[in-house]
Amino acid sequence: MSAALVTGASRGIGRGIAIALAGAGFDVVVNYASNLAAAEDTAKEIEKLGARAVLVRADVGDAEDRARLVHEAHEAFGTLDLLVNNAGVAPSVRADLLEATEESFDRLVGINLKGPYFLTQQVARRMVDAGTAGKIVTISSMSAYTASVNRGDYCVTKAGLGMMTKLFAARLAEHGITVFEVRPGIIATDMTGAVQAKYDKLILSDGITPIRRWGTPGDVGRAVVAIATDLLPFSTGQVIDVDGGFHLRTL
């Protein structure tokens, strides 16, 4: 079987991706930062589908943890065919742009942008050395282009992931490694549960998305599977919007 590393795979979008990949024939390294019980639940779902799951606790914002994560992933499966950069955090406090702190900015940049950047570098080096025609997928957000003035640090990190995708796509194409950005919209997870009533109105009544329903982690997982199973062999550096059409400009 092929092997994938999914960061932040214990819950939400990451769990949806990990389970979808298992259904497509991938063994999965389930990376998590702190919630062991949730990671174990993800592993059980993966194993129900006949795939193997290996749990690795690591903070992608920490250099030593990143190195250990890559090492343990290769120790588990011998190789990696797919990296999915999914782990990320929201600001602890949604602060107005004129009040936001450097502490929050540094935290988000470290986890959401610096972490995936250098994790991708490490995995890509291994793929190149092994001659693996692998794939790298980064999960960003509609916040990459949608300005939210009460969480500017989050938006900046997601926009940065877009350029990261282009850079690695350009650099790795000669090695047969393709790189994609998957950009979710409003997805039903525990992270968005606190604003459910707000988005119910925006989606169902106001029609903020042409497809009038919440997205699911499974929707994102299917997009990743399409890439992972080589359904886009002549594409790289592309953005795949999984947002119900939010990105469309309509009159």
Give the pLDDT score at 192.
67
Cα-based distances in Å from 159 to 56, 134, 143, 165, 219: 28, 24, 7, 10, 21
Residue 95 in domain: yes
pTM: 0.95
Q: 199 catalytic, yes or no? A: no
Residue type, 141: S
Residue-level pLDDT at 194: 67
Question: Does 251 map to a domain?
Answer: no
pLDDT for 149: 97
The boundaries of the domain holding residue 21 are: 2-242
Assigned domain for 250 exists: no
| Torsions phi, psi for 229 (to 5 deg) | -95, 15
- Mean pLDDT in residue range 171-186: 97
Number of domains into which the chain is organized = 1
Q: 55: domain CATH number?
A: 3.40.50.720
Is residue 204 very low, low, confident or very high in pLDDT (cuts 50, 70, 90)?
confident
- Exposure b/e, 127-153, CB count within 10 A at least 16 = b: bbeeebebbbbbbbbbbbeeeeeebbb
How many residues does this entry show for the chain?
A: 251
pLDDT in tens, 126-140: 999 999 999 999 999
**Of these residues, 32, 117, 145, 154, which one is catalytic?**
154
Q: Are 30 and 56 in contact (CB under 8 A)?
A: yes
Q: Average pLDDT for residues 37-51, to the nearest whole number?
A: 98
Say what percent of the chain tops pLDDT 90: 90
Residue 248 in domain: no
Cα 129 to Cα 114: distance, rounded to the nearest angstrom: 23
Q: Per mean pLDDT, which range of 5-19, 66-80, 177-191 is the poorest? A: 177-191
